[in-house]
Amino acid sequence: MSEKTTIYDIAKALNITAATVSRALNNNPKISAATKKLVMETAAKMNYKQNRLALALKSGKSNNVGVIVPYIDRNFFSAIIRGIEEELYPLGYHVIICQTHEQESTEIDNINALLNAQVDGILMSVSKLTTQTDHFEYVLEKNVPLVFFDRKKDLKGVSTVTIDDFEGGYRATKHLIDQGCKRIAHLSGDWSLEIYKNRYEGYKKALTDHGIALKKEYVIKTKSDIRAGQKASEKLLMLPEPPDAIFSSSDYVALGAIQQLKKHGIKIPSEFCVVGFSNEPFTKFLELSMTTVDQSPVEMGKMAAKVFLEQVKDSNVKIEKKVVLSPTLKIRMSSVR
């Protein structure tokens, strides 16, 4: 049979009304179990496909949830998606994944596409280049639950699930101080993203609390890649008084720094300590395993899904939660003297 079989074809085959077929397919309690069974079996034989979009428009529920991330191929974001799926799949939800490539225009297109697909909610991490909030407010106007994870904008009515980046930065820097490091540099990300600004603030507070002066030349903003780490660490090593440690807001940048330090024959950790951030899988498999701050991405994904479920449980109750997860410092060879 054609894939375009309709309920009218099924009704004709069974000599019943199309309305009865429709009710049976939608598990209406007014239809007997025997009729439901017969309709379902006939629909399967005739290769009938229900129009999910039409059902969503009719019921107001699609059982689809949109997830928007900057990049799918980053372990951190793929682990968050895994957490979301593990929480939602058992409850019958399907996850539609979009990526922005850090572009605000793509983020807006993603949101519009998901709303047109009648998703029941949108869980997302904000693009680095996003400056406006109109598209987020449009989601709220549509009464579609919106949950930010990791990267966020502070908007009334929007729940967020983040890690305590300030605490992560503080613990990483304090650990270096405890190892005897006195000239600690910080390789930071773009401060337009709150996560990087908070990691820097944690670094700064740890220095202040331990009587170490902050040197502006020790703080360098970089892209989050290996090459950026190589260039930034080279710049630090050329200073009249180079640092003896680096706390990086990115594991990839920290890896680039380690490569450059080795190139100069600097011994890690006896002469120079390095700490990263994110606990990427490669950090524990390096010949010199890397100390890093774990962001618990699977847990973050699960929590974002739970917050979404709370919001759809009772559509008449507006829930706004601010969940902050505690970071964990994974101490490894790159920083232990």
- Per-residue pLDDT of the chain in tens (337 residues, 90 and over written 9): 445 788 888 889 999 998 898 888 877 888 899 998 898 889 888 888 766 655 555 556 788 999 999 999 999 999 999 999 999 999 989 999 999 999 999 999 999 999 998 999 999 999 999 999 999 999 999 999 999 999 999 899 899 999 999 999 999 999 999 999 999 999 999 888 899 999 999 999 999 999 999 999 999 999 999 999 999 999 999 999 999 999 999 999 999 999 999 999 999 999 999 999 999 999 999 999 999 999 999 999 999 999 999 988 876 667 789 999 999 999 999 999 9
Per-residue model confidence (pLDDT) at position 27 = 76
Per-residue model confidence (pLDDT) at position 99 = 97
Q: Is the pTM of this model over 0.85?
A: no
Per-residue model confidence (pLDDT) at position 110 = 97
Here the tokens at position 28 are 């209406």
Using only C-alpha atoms, the chain has a radius of gyration, in whole angstroms, of: 26
Q: How far apart are CA 145 and CA 39, in angstroms?
A: 35
Per-residue model confidence (pLDDT) at position 271 = 97
Per-residue model confidence (pLDDT) at position 18 = 85
Per-residue model confidence (pLDDT) at position 261 = 98
